[in-house]
Amino acid sequence: MDKWLSHPTSLKIISVIVGLLLWAVVHIDPDTSPQTVTSNVDTKTIEASVIKAEGLDTDKYILTAMEPSVVRLDVQGRLSNLLNASSDDDYVVSVDLKGAKPGIQELPLVATLPKGITLVEMSPRTVTVQIEEILTKPFELQVVTDGKPAAGYVVGASTIVAPTTGVLVTLPKDDMSRVGVVTTEINVDGADKTVVNKKAKIIVYDTDGIEMTNAVVSPETVHVEVKVTPPFKTLPLQVRYTGALPDGLSLVSVKPAIDQVTVYGEQKLLDELQVYDGVVLDLSKVKQSGEVQVKTGAIDGIKSIDPAEVTLAVVVAPIITREFAGLPITLEGVPTGMSAVFRTPASGKFDLSVSGAESVLNALKAESLAIAANVEGLSPGVHSVTLQIDVPAYVQTVLSEGQTLTVSIEIVEDASTGIGEDDSEEVGGTPTEEPPTPTPTPTPTPDTGEESGNGSGNASGGPTMNP
**What long-range pairs does 431-438 form, CB within 8 A, spacing at least 24?**
431/328, 431/329, 431/347, 431/348, 431/349, 433/328, 433/347, 433/349, 435/324, 435/325, 435/326, 435/327, 435/328, 435/349, 435/366, 436/325, 436/326, 437/366, 438/322, 438/323, 438/324, 438/325, 438/366
- Please give the pLDDT value at position 420: 41
* Separation CA 399–CA 168 (nearest Å): 70
Report d(CA 399, CA 386) in Å as an integer: 14
> What is the CATH topology of the domain spanning 320-427?
RNA Polymerase Alpha Subunit; Chain A, domain 2 (2.170.120)
In tens digits, what is the pLDDT along the chain, a chain of 467 residues?
556 556 667 667 777 777 777 767 665 555 544 444 445 788 888 888 999 999 998 888 889 899 999 999 999 988 888 888 877 778 899 999 998 888 999 999 999 998 889 999 999 999 999 999 999 999 999 999 999 998 888 888 888 998 877 899 999 988 999 999 999 999 999 998 889 999 999 999 999 999 999 999 999 999 999 988 888 889 999 999 999 999 899 999 999 999 999 998 888 888 888 999 999 999 999 999 999 999 998 877 788 899 999 999 999 999 999 999 999 999 999 988 899 999 999 999 999 999 999 999 999 999 999 999 999 999 999 999 999 999 998 999 998 888 889 999 999 988 654 444 444 444 444 443 444 433 333 333 333 333 333 333 333 334 433 33
**What is the architecture, at CATH level 2, of domain 41-133?**
Beta Complex (2.170)
The amino acid at 238: Q
CATH number of 234-317: 2.170.120.40
DSSP per-residue codes, 323-371 = EEEEEEEEEE-PPTTEEEEEEESTTSEEEEEEEEEHHHHHT--GGG-EE
Let me know if the fold of 41-133 is the same as that of 320-427.
Answer: yes
State residue 252's pLDDT score: 92
Q: Where are the domains of the chain?
A: 41-133, 140-229, 234-317, 320-427
The confidence score (pLDDT) of residue 412 equals 93
> Which residue type does 67 have?
E
Task: Give the amino acid at 310.
Answer: V
CATH of 140-229 among 3.40.640.10, 2.170.120.40, 1.20.140.10, 3.60.20.40: 2.170.120.40
Give the start-end residues of each E strand in 207-348.
216-218, 221-229, 232-242, 249-256, 260-264, 276-282, 290-295, 304-306, 309-332, 338-344
* Predicted pLDDT of residue 2: 59
pLDDT of residue 259: 93
How far apart (Å, rounded) are the C-alpha atoms in residues 359 and 357? Answer: 6
> What pLDDT is stored for residue 243 in this prediction?
92
Nearest by Cα to 232 from 170, 157, 283: 157
